[in-house]
Amino acid sequence: MRLARLTQRKQFLAAAEHGRRFRSSAFSVQVRDATGEPGRDGLKLGLTASRKVGNAVKRNRIRRRLRAAAGAALSEQAGRACDVVIVARPQTLTAAFQALIADLSVALDRARPAGPGRSSDKRRPAVPRSAPAKS
């Protein structure tokens, strides 16, 4: 399955600024919900691999692996209107392909915007600490 692509810098920046993030050892994912935009009907994918990741051969291999993993992991989510940006890390080359697929599936599931009955903040509430006893 071929996913639509993010092509403009402003789309990548919007996902980074307004999207939700998920980090794994092999990559970082930013997901921005685009349901309210007119004319949007599906998922768009953007891939980033900087020179910190490796030379051109390694970066291209990383992008090919991530594109294939995204096609497998996001195929059932293709109708959902959102932008997904995957920022590669050097571990993407050595990670197992099935682990990439599983991490991408988890990333999209966790990055969903909070709906009815879902809490937007998954952190535990702060527990007040008692003052130290004075003697």
Is the predicted pLDDT of residue 116 greater than 60, yes or no? no
pTM for this prediction: 0.76
Mind listing the domains of the chain with CATH numbers? 4-109 (3.30.230.10)
Average pLDDT, integer, range 62-67: 94
Answer whether 47's CB lies under 8 Å from 86's CB: yes
Is the predicted pLDDT of residue 119 greater than 50, yes or no? no
Answer whether 62's CB lies under 8 Å from 53's CB: yes
Answer whether 122's CB lies under 8 Å from 83's CB: no
Tokens of 61: 């291999």
Burial 64-79 (b: 16+ CB within 10 A, else e): ebbeebbbebbeebee
Average pLDDT, the chain: 82
Residue 36 pLDDT level (bands cut at 50, 70, 90): confident
Residue 43's CB is within 10 A of a number of other CB atoms, namely 21
- Please report the DSSP string for 5-37 in residue order: E--SHHHHHHHHHHSEEEE-SSEEEEEEE-TTS
Residue 28's CB is within 10 A of a number of other CB atoms, namely 16
